[in-house]
Chains A and B, each alone.
Chain A
Amino acid sequence: MNLIISSKEFTFERAQARVFPSDWDGTANLSQGDPVLLFEPAELVDNCIISSAAPQPGEFMLLLSELTVRRLRDNRRFDVPWFAAQFNLTDPDVKKGAATVVLNPTGVFRVSIFDRTNRPLPHRQLMLHWGQMDIQLETDENGTVFFLDNPTHFRVDMETPKIAVESE
């Protein structure tokens, strides 16, 4: 099955792609063996995902990790940790072995985290929550994380420092 990514704003140059049914832990899927097989990664190269999977029509999730995207209007490249979307595969899609998935993220957003003295906080852990997905990420050396969509669409939690007080 080939998936072509269509986007007005971005070229999806590289990513690790996983395509799995939304109902991945349903009885029919679990009875076929280890469900991890449904999450086998495939390479995304220049808007194209070539997968050996032969899915049935239905609702699917596309999970992209470690993406490199190029913004068409200024040719700038961005490394983004993840992006996910839902799409449907129809009977004609499955018969011809190819489908187009339209992805129109609202933009690239850089989230930076600072302490109260405006110093960036590197390697700070963030938890994002989107639908049934929970994503654990770390800020980079500059205390930043890139998002390929408006981060206000997600619930974001951040680990808080622990303060230990002991009498000596």
Chain B
Amino acid sequence: MKARTVLPLAFLGLLFFASHADAQTSCQVTPYYSNYATQSFDDSNFTLTQTVTTDGYGYMNIEFCLEANNAYHTPHGVNKITEPNGTVHGGAFSGSPVCAVNCYVFAQNTISFQGTPGDLDTDEVDGSVSCSVAGTFWQVGGLGATRFVQAYFKCDQSGGVCTVTAGARTYHRCNPQGDACDTVYLVNSPVVSGDWPLFGLLNAVNISLPRGGSICIVGRHGVRADMCTSPDPHP
């Protein structure tokens, strides 16, 4: 019996079949890349294994793009599963850079861990290819994805109740998700009343970065809360 559900099921076998016409008369790359994930589950010991691969090549006419001869392309990916308790498995990975002109790129990463029956994990699978001259020019998956978060936080009490450290106060998410919003350091009060409550229902936006990592932006219009045990309205 499959005791663990991973959502969303990651399979991003995307291929871009753009016309060769543009690439023949300009310096644009026609990308033939894919990013895909495979999962296996061993129900004898609850071990989940996930492999993410980014590979392919970009077509470019070098007669029109002499600068491309000095450029190189690097494949990137994200293979990350976060358990409900905040434990994160995997993360960002990259392959070796290869020549930019019609060379094959390949990057692969495998994570494997023993899960807990009944847990609902969060799965993140992304892929991208960057050019040493033009930056990231191809990407799929949750790249750059933005999520509104309305969640319960608790002010840090390790140095006293909600004390100021280096000009900021620290809040921890009551239900951490393994991203940049789990622990936030705030210079301005996150609630409308302008004070610093022990518990708060705060507004935030989480932005995933294309090459892994994320940015959390906390608003100033949250409200005071009484506890840290309620489910989050917008996890």
Q: Which A residues form the contact surface with B (CB < 8 A)?
A: 13-14, 16, 18, 23-27, 30, 34-36, 39-41, 61, 63, 65-68, 77, 79, 81-82, 123, 125, 127, 129, 131-138, 140-141, 155
B166 to A155, Cβ gap below 8 A? yes
CB distance from A158 to the nearest CB of B (A): 13
Bound CA span A39–B147, Å? 9
Considering the complex, which residues of chain B in the window 169-221 have a beta carbon less than 8 Å from any beta carbon of chain A? 179-181, 183-188, 190, 203, 205, 207, 209-221
A141 to B221, Cβ gap below 8 A? no
B166 to A65, Cβ gap below 8 A? no
Bound CA span A16–B211, Å? 12
The total of interchain contacts (Cβ-Cβ below 8 angstroms) comes to: 117
The 8 Å CB contact of A35, one of B92, B166, B205, B210, is B205
Contact segment of B19-27, B55-63, B128-136? B128-136
Interface size on B, residues (CB 8 A): 42
Overall SS of chain B's interface: strand
B163 at the binding interface (Cβ < 8 Å): no
In the complex, which residues of chain A have a beta carbon less than 8 angstroms from the beta carbon of B133? 77
B49 at the binding interface (Cβ < 8 Å): no
B203 to A25, Cβ gap below 8 A? yes
In the complex, which residues of chain A have a beta carbon less than 8 angstroms from the beta carbon of B188? 131-132
Overall SS of chain A's interface: strand
Bound CA span A13–B136, Å? 12
B69 at the binding interface (Cβ < 8 Å): no
Query: Which residue of A is nearest B96, CB measured?
Result: A141
A136 to B215, Cβ gap below 8 A? yes
CB contact under 8 A between A136 and B180, given known A16-B210, A36-B146, A141-B94: yes
